[in-house]
A = this chain, B = another copy of it.
Amino acid sequence: MTPSGPARDELAARLRLIVITDRDLARPREVTEVVGEALRAGAPAIQLREKTLPPRDTLPLARRLRADTRAAGALFFVNDRPDLALAVGADGVHLGPDDLPVAAARRIAPPPFLIGYSTDDPDAARAAVADGAHYIGCGAVFPTSTKSDAGRAVGLRGLARVVAAVDAPVVAIGGIDAARAPGVFRVGAGCAAVSAVMAAADPGRAVHSILRAAAEG
């Protein structure tokens, strides 16, 4: 199920940075405004992560971000909900351990719909890829305050173990910013940024800094 060769490499290139939304961190700005700045700065992928709004109210936001990412040529993922992702024509969904399992999501959402799965465990990563996951979100790599249930940080060493375990792209999450991005890229992973972009005074500049580290990696 894993994309291989050029398709895998192209996906990995686009997953060198996923900007993940957070309405609280974006305040007083709207999420769409911060995402807009990130897209103009070249962010190649956006993930809508909305933990408090009910699905009915998340839908209009998801539609707007789908339109904006499409216009910018960026990938668009929705967190947790394959149905919401499919309803807005997202490129994929990002699933965690409590969500619908990868294999179940795969059954209702055939390729080219992409599935990401969160784990810091090499064996679980291998199993997820075997079940149809296209990429792994690994974290928390560094300590983070944006996800209270993220557990202890696994560090670049833990990240490297997951990268080594799977052929699919791995995206590091948890405390990622421009200063830590070079270490992440050296390990062969991409970066998922939440507060580094959503809470930034200049989100475009934050995106530029991380992408520059990727280009120099």
- Determine the distance from Cα of A86 to Cα of B57 in the docked complex, in whole angstroms: 22
Total contacting residues, chain A, CB less than 8 A: 21
Copies in the complex: 2
- Determine the distance from Cα of A87 to Cα of B101 in the docked complex, in whole angstroms: 10
Residues of B within 8 A of A107 (CB): 86-87
Of B54, B83, B88, B98, which contacts A83 at CB under 8 A?
A: B83
Of listed A83, A84, A105, A107, residue having the most chain B CB within 10 A? A83
Residues of B within 8 A of A97 (CB): 56
> Within 8 Å of chain B (Cβ to Cβ): is A82?
yes
Closest to A88 in B: B104
A-B contact pairs, 21 of them (CB 8 A): A54-B98, A55-B100, A56-B97, A56-B98, A56-B100, A56-B101, A57-B98, A59-B100, A59-B101, A59-B104, A81-B83, A82-B83, A83-B83, A83-B86, A83-B105, A83-B108, A84-B100, A86-B107, A87-B107, A88-B104, A108-B108
